[in-house]
Structure 1
Amino acid sequence: MSDERARWDGLSSSETARRLSRDGPNELPTPSPPSMPRLLLAQFVHFYALMLWVAAGLAVIGDLPSLGVAIVLVIVINGVFAFAQEYRAVRAAEQLRELLPERVYICRDGRRVEVNATVQHCARPTSAWR
């Protein structure tokens, strides 16, 4: 172990309290979900979509309006499918976050202890401690 105070029998309660006061709770920030309109708009203004918008404009300027319309349809269809896929990925990440345990078992002062999953600086999970 890299920290000499973290032993195989877990951290002591005093060391845990010291780390908690020094570093704060061991929590991951909860990201706010992206807004759906912004997510949809992003599908139409990324680099390759912008290149296609320019190509559609040049096709119309070059007296090929049917090609311009076809390119715009490709942009819209691609944007809708990409938005649907991104939306599903965001929802899947939210559902995975809900599967995280709220309580865990750790080794503290040589004993197996149940604590909140946001416990500060566990030496190792008890799955390795039998």
Structure 2
Amino acid sequence: MFSEIIQPRFSETDALGHINNTVFAVWFEGARTALFRIFTPELNLKQWPLIIARVSIDYHAQTQYGEPVEIRTFISRLGGSSFDVYQQAWQNGIKCATGTTVMVQFDYQHQQARALTEQQKTTLSQHLFVPIDR
């Protein structure tokens, strides 16, 4: 598991006073940086090997301004060329949102998916999701 602490910004609140639903996609993307480094340690965009095939987010509780949010990032599925990134947003011990992103290793030159290497699978598998809420 990777973990990152987010300090919600006032600008991320909406008229109802809680963090807007659109913010979670941005937070989740930022928290995937550690995974990106598995594929391109320098985060070199000219050598970027990943694309997003799907993103889904479920909302479980309101998230408020003024309290830190922990984003937990796991791998929930490993395929031949793709993998699922499962993420949770926690605030004050409450799971507020969960999301799944399907990432595909992609060969831009040939415009097709590229198989994950055994080394990549081994590294990703070190972050497999174990369903224990705390």
Could you say which TM-score interval applies, normalised by the shorter chain?
under 0.3
Q: Considering only CA atoms, is the larger Rg found in Structure 1 or Structure 2?
A: 1
Q: Which has the higher contact order (CA 8 A, sep 6+)?
A: 1
Scaled by the length of structure 1, the TM-score of the pair is: 0.25
Query: Which structure shows the higher helix fraction?
Result: 1
TM-score, with normalisation over the residues of structure 2? 0.24
